Amino acid sequence: MTPEEFRRYGHEIVDWIADYRARLSERPVMSPVQPGETRALVPARPPEQGEPLDQVLKDLERVVLPGITHWNHPSFFAYFPSNAGLASVLADLVSSGLGAQAMSWQTSPAATELEEAMMDWLRQAVDLPASFTGVIQDTASTATFVALLCARERATGFSQETKGFTAGLTIYASEEAHSSVAKAALLAGFGRDNLRLIPTDDEHAMRPDALEKAIATDKANGRTPCAVVATIGTTATTAFDPIVKPDGLWLHVDAAMAGSAMILPECRPLWRGVEAADSIVFNPHKWLGVAFDCTAYYVKDPQTLVRVMSTNPSYLQTAADEKVRNLRDWGLQLGRRFRALKLWFLFREQGLEKLRQRLRRDLENAQWLAAQVDRTQGWERVAPVKLQTVCIRHKEADNLAIANRVNRSGRAYVTPSVLKGRQMIRVSIGAEATSRAEVAAVWSLLQSEAKSAT
Ligand SMILES: *Cc1c(COP(=O)(O)O)cnc(C)c1O
C-alpha cells in the first residue's frame, strides 16, 4: 500500500471507528454469536491475489462486528471497565504508523525516554513516592510473573548457579487474589504446595493475623517465606487487602483495576502503606482509559529487575552506571511497542482534572446503585462498595438466571459470579460512556428479570 492509498483508506477507517463509537448504544452489548459462527465466515485458505481494501472494510461489518462484545458500550457492566479513550486510539495508530521498536534506547530513543517520562507522570498522578521507577508491561499478569521471578532471585542470592532454585520458598496471597497470581507462582517454579491462599474477612480482604500465622507455621516447618501479594481491589468485589510487609519478604501490590482510582486523593487511604512495596502493578488500560494494552509496573529497586531480566552479564554492574535504559532488560519482551504514546495522548487531551471528574462520576453512580439495592425488598449487597463495583444478589431468585437473561437481552452486560459459595451478580460501573441513565436502566432491567426468574 502506498502512503497515498493509506491516506484514503485511513480517512475512511477513522470515519468508520468514529461512527462505531457514536452509535455504540444501538448494538447488543454482549455478542450474540454462537461458537464457530465467525470462523465459518472466513475462507479456509489465504488469498493468492490481493483485493481492494474496500472489500475488507465491508467484511468488518459482516464478519467481525457481530462477534464483538462492546466493552466501550455505555451499558457494559461486566468484568471491569476497559476504556479505550479515543485520544489513545489515535496514539496507537501513530505507534503502528511509526513502526518503531523500543527494545533498546538506540532503537528509538524517543520511545524509551517518553516511556520514562510517562511512567513518572503517572507516578505523580497517583502520588507514589519518587523512590519508585516505572516501566510499561503488556499486562498485569506479566508484571506479577516478573515480580515473583525477582522475589525468587533475590531470595536465592541472584546466583547464576541457583537461578530457578525454589525449594521451600513460599508465596502468600489472599483467597480472593486474581488467578494471575497462582499462574505466576506456578510458572516461576514455586509449586502449588508452596502457594498459600490466606483466608479473608467479612469484607473479603486478606486477614493479617492469618497471614502472620501462615508465615510463622512455614518458618517453623523449615520453609522460607519469600513473597506476599497484596491485592488492592480484588476481582470479585474490589476488596482491599491491608498492606503489610513482613520482614525480609518481597511485597508485590496488585492494584491492576483499582490503581487508576489513586488519581483521586480521597481514594488513596485505600492503599495506605503502599510505599513499603517492592513492586506495584496497575493497569491504565482498565478504568483510566488507555486503549489496551498498557500496564504500569513500578519497582523500588530497578537494579534487581535488570539483574533478573537481563541476559547480558555486563548488567551485573549497576544500572545507575548506564546513561540510558534499555527496556528489553526491564521485562520479558525483547521487541516492545511504543505504548507510552497512548498515555501521552490521553494525559494531554484529557488533563488530570477531566480524568478525575469521570472517575468521581463513576464512584457516585456506584453509591447511587448501592443505595437503590439497599432500599429494595428482596435484594441485598454482598460486599461494601469501595469503588465502582456493586456486588448484589436477589435473595430468592436464581441469580445466574437473572444475569443470563440480562446479558441475552443485549441491553446490558453484567457478570454472574460466585462469592464464597454463593451466586451473585457483579455490576462493574465505569465505561467512559456510562452515565446515571444507563445505571438506572440496568437496575430496572435486573429487577424485572428477577421477577421473571422467580
Ligand atoms: C484485571 C486484573 C488482573 C489481570 O490483568 P491483565 O492485565 O489482564 O493480566 C490481575 N489482577 C487484578 C486485581 C485485576 O483486576
Q: Tens-digit pLDDT profile for the chain (454 aa)?
A: 999 999 999 999 999 999 999 999 999 999 999 999 999 999 999 999 999 999 999 999 999 999 999 999 999 999 999 999 999 999 999 999 999 998 899 999 999 999 999 999 999 999 999 999 999 999 999 999 999 999 999 998 886 545 556 778 999 999 999 999 999 999 999 999 999 999 999 999 999 999 999 999 999 999 999 999 999 999 999 999 999 999 999 999 999 999 999 999 999 999 999 999 999 999 999 999 999 999 999 999 999 999 999 877 554 444 545 689 999 999 999 999 999 999 999 999 999 999 999 999 999 999 999 999 999 999 999 999 999 999 999 999 999 999 999 999 999 999 999 998 999 999 999 999 999 999 999 999 999 999 987 7
Nearest ligand 1 atom, CA 255: 13
Nearest ligand 1 atom, CA 257: 15
3-state secondary structure the chain: CCHHHHHHHHHHHHHHHHHHHHCHHHCCCCCCCCCCCCHHHCCCCCCCCCCCHHHHHHHHHHHHHHHCCCCCCCCECCCCCCCCCHHHHHHHHHHHHHCCCCCCCCCCHHHHHHHHHHHHHHHHHCCCCCCCEEEEECCHHHHHHHHHHHHHHHHCCCCHHHCCCCCCEEEEEECCCCHHHHHHHHHCCCCHHHEEEECECCCCCECHHHHHHHHHHHHHCCCEEEEEEEEECCCCCCCECCCCCCCCCEEEEECCCHHHHHHCHHHHHHHCCHHHCCEEEECCCCCCCCCCCCEEEEECCHHHHHHHHCCCHHHHCCHHHCCCCCHHHHCCCCCCCCCHHHHHHHHHHHHHHHHHHHHHHHHHHHHHHHHHHHCCCCEEECCCCCCCEEEEEECCCCHHHHHHHHHHHCCCECEEEEECCEEEEEEECCCCCCCHHHHHHHHHHHHHHHHHHC
Nearest ligand 1 atom, CA 295: 7
The whole-number pLDDT of residue 323 equals 85
Nearest ligand 1 atom, CA 144: 10
Residue 178: CB within 6 Å of ligand 1?
yes
The whole-number pLDDT of residue 453 equals 77
Residue 386: CB within 6 Å of ligand 1?
no
CA 435 remoteness from chain centre: 22
425488598: which residue's cell? 377
User: Pairing mode, if any, of strands 389-394 and 422-428?
Assistant: antiparallel
Residue 138: CB within 6 Å of ligand 1?
no
The residue to mutate among 280, 282, 283, 285, having the most atoms of ligand 1 within 8 angstroms of its beta carbon, is 283
The whole-number pLDDT of residue 47 equals 97
| pLDDT tens column, 354-413 | 999 999 999 999 999 999 999 999 999 999 999 999 999 999 999 999 999 999 999 999
513500578: which residue's cell? 298
| 141 alpha carbon – ligand 1 mean position (Å) | 6
Q: How far is CA 448 from CA 238, 402, 417, 435, 451, in A?
A: 26, 9, 20, 21, 5
Nearest ligand 1 atom, CA 231: 13
Residue 365: CB within 6 Å of ligand 1?
no
| pLDDT tens column, 203-233 | 999 999 999 999 999 999 999 999 999 999 9
pTM of structure: 0.95
Residue 256: CB within 6 Å of ligand 1?
yes
Residue 235: CB within 6 Å of ligand 1?
yes
The whole-number pLDDT of residue 194 equals 95
| 140 alpha carbon – ligand 1 mean position (Å) | 5
438506572: which residue's cell? 440
The whole-number pLDDT of residue 158 equals 80
Residue 139: CB within 6 Å of ligand 1?
yes
Nearest ligand 1 atom, CA 232: 13
| 284 alpha carbon – ligand 1 mean position (Å) | 11
| 256 alpha carbon – ligand 1 mean position (Å) | 5
What does the chain come to in residues? 454
Mind listing the domains of the chain with CATH numbers? 3-70 (1.20.1340.10), 100-337 (3.40.640.10), 353-453 (3.90.1150.10)
Residue 283: CB within 6 Å of ligand 1?
yes
Nearest CA to ligand 1 atom 12: 256
Residue 238: CB within 6 Å of ligand 1?
no
